[in-house]
């Protein structure tokens, strides 16, 4: 930690800028393909239900790799690991950009997910380590702008790129940004995190893969296969058994592969649950909005992207202010406001019809993005602030892993619900079956958001309440 104590403000700022550059590119690739899904599916000759795994599978792979990153952050020098993550991500972009089949595309997406998993966990730990406590909320607010606004802005840019060039150019542009980040990191980043000689627990890692992967895959198949299908029950059973064995093993170990005992910290546990619910709904809606504009309303990819643009701008404004509000007032009011805005957005989308102008949906998307700006980074900053410094890497990796997996589940479940409802309501609704499927799906999202609002309103304590209870 000596390197951190000797670090001046200019060095901190340059490292932070470098983190933002890489975070923008990696975060954009988590949702950019939602707008490009239709043309990619057509060229690779696959269906939309299979094609959505380019997004949900990306999230799944990233969620699986996250537990490993907690070990890697503690075991390997910061600079070497960060540069390695960038290189892996660039390799994934090259594979996907040159792919001529769905299987090759998914190999590239998995490589991107692994690289992003390493970079995202490291970025958050580095930021929380090098900046003083009084600046963490504000700095994480700006970081939230990068990782929050970029995925929302990505469909807009992707739509324009797809119509103007091709979907392959998306990967080329991201690769160019990451090369710039690689050069910056090479000259700027030092070994700012402490390392240890902790041994790699292969058994725990394999168990985490089965646990996280099985649950995500099983639940993700519910929407398209039905609850009683073997493609749901088998991976879900593997995931549940793997989760139980993994958790029991970590709790018995004196030096766990992934420290789960931090979930005993009430505020941290609530931040994890809140982040999971947020991503569950957020990633589902990020896929449904382009499908609504293109598949239901029949507009182009460019229009689809433009519908989400106002939301991106709103998040760009809200995220830094959310960080400042957190530093001054804490999480309670932000949490309640964000959950309320998210609920309002989902209810609004539940009531739209084929005759509703698309700018109305764009307005509801603005409300959704304001909610994301209020919640995404403040929840992380709040939860990890109750965790001692030595366990911040575990806390960040666990939270990011679980919320990412929740996002993958949300993407698969909500797209599956929309497709299933649309298919079964054609005889009743005719050409409006797609809109009916969309309405029902957003109604389900609203139900999930109610839980988020209840947690914010009744589960989160104010600083005064914490003081009275704990002291």
Q: pLDDT tens, 212-222?
A: 888 877 876 76
CB 398, CB 67: distance < 8 Å: yes
In the 8-state DSSP scheme, what is residue 264? G
pLDDT of residue 54: 81
CA distance linking residue 65 with residue 55, whole number of Å: 16
Residue pLDDT, tens place only, 128-138 = 788 877 777 77
- Collapsed DSSP state (helix, strand, coil) of residue 320: helix
Confidence of residue 144 (pLDDT cuts 50, 70, 90): confident
- Percentage above 90 pLDDT, the chain: 23
CA distance linking residue 89 with residue 120, whole number of Å: 12
Most confident of 2-6, 7-11, 17-21: 17-21
pLDDT of residue 337: 92
Residue found by looking up tokens 């799906």 in the block = 441
Task: Specify the length of the chain in residues.
Answer: 471
Mean pLDDT over all residues of the chain?
83
pLDDT at 244 over 90: yes
| Average pLDDT score over residue span 327-350 | 90
Residue pLDDT, tens place only, 248-305 = 998 988 878 888 899 999 999 999 999 999 988 988 887 788 888 888 888 877 787 7
Confidence of residue 425 (pLDDT cuts 50, 70, 90): confident
| Average pLDDT score over residue span 197-206 | 83
Say how far residue 111 (Cα) sits from the centre of its chain: 16
CA distance linking residue 439 with residue 430, whole number of Å: 15
Confidence of residue 93 (pLDDT cuts 50, 70, 90): very high
CA distance linking residue 278 with residue 375, whole number of Å: 8
pLDDT at 5 over 70: no
pLDDT of residue 74: 77
CB 14, CB 188: distance < 8 Å: yes
Tokens of residue 135, six digits: 């600046």
pLDDT of residue 273: 93
Output the CA torsion sign for 278, 284, 290, 294: negative
pLDDT of residue 469: 45
Q: Could you tell me the CATH superfamily of domain 2-198+255-470?
A: MFS general substrate transporter like domains (1.20.1250.20)
Residue pLDDT, tens place only, 76-87 = 888 888 999 999
pLDDT of residue 149: 66
Query: H-helix or E-strand containing 139?
Result: helix 133-144
| Average pLDDT score over residue span 177-195 | 84
Output the CA torsion sign for 379, 380, 381, 382: positive
Confidence of residue 2 (pLDDT cuts 50, 70, 90): very low
| Among candidate residues 204, 213, 217, the one with its CA nearest the CA of residue 250 | 204
Q: Where are the domains of the chain?
A: 2-198+255-470, 199-254
- Collapsed DSSP state (helix, strand, coil) of residue 398: helix
pLDDT at 152 over 60: yes
pLDDT of residue 224: 60
204 against 412, higher pLDDT = 204
pLDDT of residue 467: 43
Nearest-Å Rg of the Cα atoms of the chain is 21
| Average pLDDT score over residue span 89-115 | 91
Helix ranges, 331-391 (H): 332-350, 358-384
């Amino acid at each position: 930690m000596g390197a951190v104590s000797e670090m001046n403000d200019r060095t901190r700022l340059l490292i932070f800028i470098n983190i933002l550059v890489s975070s923008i590119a990696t975060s954009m690739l988590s949702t950019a393909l939602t707008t490009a899904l239709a043309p990619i599916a057509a060229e690779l000759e696959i269906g939309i239900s299979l094609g959505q795994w380019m997004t949900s599978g990306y999230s799944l792979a990233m969620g699986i790799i996250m537990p490993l990153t907690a070990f890697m952050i503690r075991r390997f020098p910061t600079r070497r690991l960060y540069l390695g993550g960038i290189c892996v991500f660039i390799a994934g972009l090259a594979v996907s950009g040159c792919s001529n089949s769905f299987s090759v595309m998914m190999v590239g997406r998995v490589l991107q997910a692994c690289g992003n998993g390493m970079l995202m966990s490291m970025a958050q730990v580095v930021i929380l380590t090098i900046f003083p406590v009084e600046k963490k909320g504000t700095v994480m607010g700006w970081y939230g702008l990068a990782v929050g606004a970029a995925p929302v802005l990505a469909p807009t840019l992707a739509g324009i790129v797809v119509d103007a060039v091709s979907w392959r150019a998306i990967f080329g542009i991201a690769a160019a940004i990451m090369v710039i980040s690689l050069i910056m990191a090479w000259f700027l980043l030092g070994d700012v995190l402490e390392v240890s000689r902790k041994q790699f627990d292969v058994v725990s890692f394999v168990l985490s893969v089965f646990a996280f992967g099985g649950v995500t895959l099983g639940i993700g198949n519910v929407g398209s296969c039905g609850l009683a299908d073997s493609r749901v029950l088998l991976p879900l059973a593997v995931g549940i058994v793997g989760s139980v064995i993994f958790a029991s093993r970590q709790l018995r170990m004196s030096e766990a592969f992934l420290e789960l005992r931090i979930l005993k910290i009430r505020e941290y546990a609530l931040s994890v649950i809140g982040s999971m619910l947020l991503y569950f709904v957020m990633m589902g809606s990020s896929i449904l909005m382009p499908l609504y504009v293109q598949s239901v309303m029949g507009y182009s990819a460019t229009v689809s992207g433009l519908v989400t643009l106002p939301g991106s701008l709103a998040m760009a404004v809200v995220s830094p202010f959310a960080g400042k509000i957190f530093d001054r007032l804490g999480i309670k009011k932000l949490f309640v406001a964000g959950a309320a805005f998210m609920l309002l957005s989902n209810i609004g989308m539940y009531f739209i019809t084929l005759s509703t102008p698309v700018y109305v949906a764009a307005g509801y998307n603005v409300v959704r993005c304001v909610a994301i700006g209020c919640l995404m980074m403040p929840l992380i900053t709040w939860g990890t602030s109750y965790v001692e410094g030595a366990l911040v890497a575990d806390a960040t990796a666990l939270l990011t892993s679980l919320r990412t997996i929740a996002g993958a589940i949300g993407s698969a479940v909500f797209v599956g619900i929309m497709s299933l409802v649309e298919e079964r309501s054609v005889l009743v609704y005719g050409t409006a079956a797609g809109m009916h499927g969309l309405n029902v799906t957003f109604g389900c999202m609203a139900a999930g958001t109610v839980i988020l609002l209840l947690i914010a309103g009744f589960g989160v304590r104010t600083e005064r309440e914490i003081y009275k209870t704990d002291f």
